[in-house]
Amino acid sequence: MKYASLEQIHALWRASNYLGAAMIYLRDNPLLREPLRVEHIKQRLLGHWGSSPGLSFCYLHLSRLIKERGLDAIFIAGPGHGAPGVLGPVWLEGTYGEIYPDKAVDRAGIEGLRRFLRDFSFPGGIGSHCTPELPGSIHEGGELGYSLSHAFGAAYDNPDLIVAAVVGDGEAETGPLATSWHGNKYLNPARDGAVLPILHLNGYKINNPTLLARISHEELQSLFEGYGWTPYFVEGHEPMEMHARMAEVMGECLDEIRSIQQRARTGDERVQRPRWPMIVLRSPKGWTGPAEVDGHKVEGFWRAHQVPLNSVRENSEHLAQLEAWLKSYRPDELFSADGALCAELRDLLPDGARRMSANAYVNSGIVRPLALPDPRAQAVAVASPAGMRVGNTRPLGRYLAEVMRANPDNFRVFGPDETSSNKLDDIFAVTGKAWMAEIYSEDADGTHLARDGKVMEMLSEHTLEGWLEGYLLTGRHGFLSTYESFAHVIDSMYNQHAKWLTICNEVPWRKPIASLNLLITSTVWRQDHNGFTHQDPGFLDVAINKDPEVTRIYLPPDANCLLVTGAHCLRSKQHINVIVADKQEHLQYLDYDAAVAHCRAGAGVWDWAGNEDGGEPDAVVACAGDVPTQEALAAVEMLRKRIPALRLRFVNVMNLFALTPKSEHPQGWSDEDFDRLFTRDKPVIFNFHGYPYLIHRLAYRRTNHSNIHVRGYMEKGSIDTPLALAIRNRIDRFGIAMDVIRHVPGLADAHADVLAALRIEQQACWDYAVEYGVDKPEISAWQWVPQT
Amino acid sequence: MKYASLEQIHALWRASNYLGAAMIYLRDNPLLREPLRVEHIKQRLLGHWGSSPGLSFCYLHLSRLIKERGLDAIFIAGPGHGAPGVLGPVWLEGTYGEIYPDKAVDRAGIEGLRRFLRDFSFPGGIGSHCTPELPGSIHEGGELGYSLSHAFGAAYDNPDLIVAAVVGDGEAETGPLATSWHGNKYLNPARDGAVLPILHLNGYKINNPTLLARISHEELQSLFEGYGWTPYFVEGHEPMEMHARMAEVMGECLDEIRSIQQRARTGDERVQRPRWPMIVLRSPKGWTGPAEVDGHKVEGFWRAHQVPLNSVRENSEHLAQLEAWLKSYRPDELFSADGALCAELRDLLPDGARRMSANAYVNSGIVRPLALPDPRAQAVAVASPAGMRVGNTRPLGRYLAEVMRANPDNFRVFGPDETSSNKLDDIFAVTGKAWMAEIYSEDADGTHLARDGKVMEMLSEHTLEGWLEGYLLTGRHGFLSTYESFAHVIDSMYNQHAKWLTICNEVPWRKPIASLNLLITSTVWRQDHNGFTHQDPGFLDVAINKDPEVTRIYLPPDANCLLVTGAHCLRSKQHINVIVADKQEHLQYLDYDAAVAHCRAGAGVWDWAGNEDGGEPDAVVACAGDVPTQEALAAVEMLRKRIPALRLRFVNVMNLFALTPKSEHPQGWSDEDFDRLFTRDKPVIFNFHGYPYLIHRLAYRRTNHSNIHVRGYMEKGSIDTPLALAIRNRIDRFGIAMDVIRHVPGLADAHADVLAALRIEQQACWDYAVEYGVDKPEISAWQWVPQT
* Cβ-Cβ contacts under 8 Å for A189 (sequence gap 6 or more): A260, A261, A263, A264, A265, A271, A274
Residue to test with chain B: of A174, A273, A526, most B Cβ within 10 A: A174
Q: What is the pLDDT of residues A166-215, one digit of tens each?
A: 999 999 999 999 999 999 999 999 999 999 999 999 999 999 999 999 99
Name the residue in chain B with its Cα closest to that of A464. Answer: B174
pLDDT at position B179 is 98
**Strand intervals (E) in A457-563:** 477-483, 516-521, 551-554
Q: Do B489 and A179 touch (CB under 8 A)?
A: no
Give A8→chain B minimum CA distance, Å: 33
Name the residue in chain A with its Cα closest to that of B527. Answer: A127
A-chain residues within 8 Å CB-CB of B445? 296-297, 301
Q: Do B449 and A209 touch (CB under 8 A)?
A: yes
Strand partners of residue A476: none
For residue A276, what is the enclosing H or E element? strand A276-282
Q: Could you say which of A173, A220, A774 has the minimum Cβ distance to residue B460?
A: A173
A-chain residues within 8 Å CB-CB of B500? 533
Residue A306 contacts residue B528 (beta carbons within 8 Å): no
- Helices first, then strands: H and E counts in chain A: 27, 22
Q: Could you say which of B127, B145, B719 has the minimum Cβ distance to residue A123?
A: B719
- The answer to whether the Cα torsion of A82, A88, A93, A98 is positive or negative is positive
Q: Do A124 and B446 touch (CB under 8 A)?
A: no
Give B643→chain A minimum CA distance, Å: 30
What confidence tier does B529 reach under pLDDT thresholds 50, 70, 90? low
Residue to test with chain A: of B52, B504, B534, B663, most A Cβ within 10 A: B534
Q: Do B222 and A219 touch (CB under 8 A)?
A: no
Q: What is the pLDDT of residues B360-394, one digit of tens each?
A: 999 988 998 999 999 999 999 999 999 999 999 99
pLDDT at position B4 is 83
Mean pLDDT of B719-741: 94
Q: Could you say which of B178, B437, B696 has the minimum Cβ distance to residue A211?
A: B437
Q: Could you say which of B126, B420, B697 has the minimum Cβ distance to residue A697?
A: B697
What confidence tier does A85 reach under pLDDT thresholds 50, 70, 90? very high
Name the residue in chain A with its Cα closest to that of B168. Answer: A459
A-chain residues within 8 Å CB-CB of B691? 545
Residue B49 contacts residue B286 (beta carbons within 8 Å): yes
Q: Could you say which of B445, B459, B533 has the minimum Cβ distance to residue A297?
A: B445
Q: Do B533 and A208 touch (CB under 8 A)?
A: no
Name the residue in chain B with its Cα closest to that of A772. Answer: B43
Give A349→chain B minimum CA distance, Å: 30
Q: Do A215 and B228 touch (CB under 8 A)?
A: yes
* Cβ-Cβ contacts under 8 Å for B639 (sequence gap 6 or more): B646, B648, B737, B740, B741
Q: Helices A110-118 and A6-25, interaxial angle, to 10°?
A: 60
pTM: predicted TM-score of the whole model, two decimal places: 0.98
A-chain residues within 8 Å CB-CB of B718? 124-127
Q: Could you say which of A173, A459, A720 has the minimum Cβ distance to residue B123?
A: A720
Give B539→chain A minimum CA distance, Å: 8
Q: Do A226 and B211 touch (CB under 8 A)?
A: no
Residue to test with chain B: of A310, A719, A763, A776, most B Cβ within 10 A: A719
Q: What is the pLDDT of residues A330-351, one digit of tens each?
A: 999 999 999 999 999 999 999 9
Give A351→chain B minimum CA distance, Å: 30
Q: Could you say which of B128, B417, B437 has the minimum Cβ distance to residue A215?
A: B437
% pLDDT > 70, chain A: 99
Q: Could you say which of B221, B460, B545 has the minimum Cβ distance to residue A175?
A: B460
Give B551→chain A minimum CA distance, Å: 12
Coil vs helix vs strand at B252: helix
Q: Do A774 and B43 touch (CB under 8 A)?
A: yes
Name the nearest CA neighbour of B130 among B18, B211, B51.
B51
Provide the H-helix boundaries in B505-551.
Answer: 539-543
Quick one: B2 exposed, middle or buried, by C-beta within 10 A (0-12, 13-18, 19+)?
exposed
Q: Could you say which of A180, A495, A715 has the minimum Cβ distance to residue B546?
A: A715
% pLDDT > 90, chain B: 92
Cα separation, A47 vs A83, in Å, equals 8
Coil vs helix vs strand at A599: helix
Compare B648 and B532 and report the one with higher pLDDT.
Answer: B648
B-chain residues within 8 Å CB-CB of A700? 696, 700, 705
Q: Do A226 and B228 touch (CB under 8 A)?
A: no
Q: Do B210 and A297 touch (CB under 8 A)?
A: no
Q: Could you say which of A124, A460, A536 has the minimum Cβ distance to residue B495?
A: A536
Res B2 pLDDT > 80: no
Rg from Cα positions in chain B = 30
For residue B296, what is the enclosing H or E element? strand B296-297
pLDDT at position B197 is 98
pLDDT at position A269 is 59
Alpha carbons within 13 angstroms on the beta-carbon side of residue B423 total 16
Residue A370 contacts residue A766 (beta carbons within 8 Å): no
Q: Could you say which of A44, A143, A486 has the minimum Cβ distance to residue B486?
A: A143
Res B1 pLDDT > 60: no
Q: Do A175 and B174 touch (CB under 8 A)?
A: yes
Q: What is the pLDDT of residues A587-635, one digit of tens each?
A: 999 999 999 999 999 999 999 999 998 789 999 999 999 999 999 999 9
Name the residue in chain A with its Cα closest to that of B24. Answer: A529
Q: Could you say which of A122, A175, A495 has the minimum Cβ distance to residue B719?
A: A122
Mean pLDDT of A144-149: 98
CA A767, distance to chain mean position in Å, is 44
Q: Do B175 and A145 touch (CB under 8 A)?
A: yes
A-chain residues within 8 Å CB-CB of B145? 175
Mean pLDDT of B574-582: 98
Q: Do A541 and B545 touch (CB under 8 A)?
A: yes
A-chain residues within 8 Å CB-CB of B705? 700
CA B205, distance to chain mean position in Å, is 25
pLDDT at position A2 is 62
Residue A182 contacts residue A499 (beta carbons within 8 Å): no
B-chain residues within 8 Å CB-CB of A435? 209
**Residue A624 backbone phi and psi in degrees, to 5:** -145, 120
pLDDT at position B532 is 76
Total beta-carbon pairs less than 8 A apart between chain A and chain B: 391
Q: CA torsion, points A219, A221, A223, A224, in degrees to nearest 10?
A: 170
Mean pLDDT of A324-334: 98
For A555-571, give one letter per residue: b (16+ CB within 10 A) or e.
bbbbbbbbbbbbbbbbe
pLDDT at position B106 is 83
% pLDDT > 90, chain A: 92
